[in-house]
Amino acid sequence: MGLPQFRYHPDPVRSGSIVESEKKCKSCGQSRGYIYTGPAYCEEDFDDDICPWCIADGSAHKKFRAEFVDLNGFRDGVPQSAIEEISQRTPG
Ligand SMILES: [Zn+2]
């Protein structure tokens, strides 16, 4: 199974934000071969246990209210829809 596509982060494996791993995802409970190792901003304590599919479909965000990108780096004028996609459904 191929990795999900992230419009704003085209190659997260190369950037090291997603790595091959047999760890189980905390969100869907499955071991799918890849795990996200980048930053997550939320109240739960994550330890590299969210899979990229749960980021891509927004379920990790819904479940844990997690955001994966620090929004302080955004300038005014970025459309809200892009900000939501980047912070909630794109690996950091
Ligand atoms: Zn998952």
pLDDT at 53 over 80: yes
pLDDT at 61 over 70: yes
State the distance from the centre of ligand 1 to the C-alpha of 77, rounded, in angstroms. 32
Task: Take residue 79 and report the two structure tokens written for it.
Answer: 């459309």
State the distance from the centre of ligand 1 to the C-alpha of 32, rounded, in angstroms. 8
Q: Residue range 46-62: average pLDDT?
A: 93
Question: Residue 48 to residues 12, 27, 40, 62, 77: CA-CA distances in angstroms?
Answer: 14, 11, 9, 17, 32
State the distance from the centre of ligand 1 to the C-alpha of 39, rounded, in angstroms. 16
State the distance from the centre of ligand 1 to the C-alpha of 26, rounded, in angstroms. 6
Alpha-carbon distance of 18 to 35, in angstroms, equals 6
Does the pTM surpass 0.75? The reply is yes
Q: Residue range 4-32: average pLDDT?
A: 95
Q: What is the pLDDT of residues 69-80, one digit of tens each?
A: 887 777 778 899
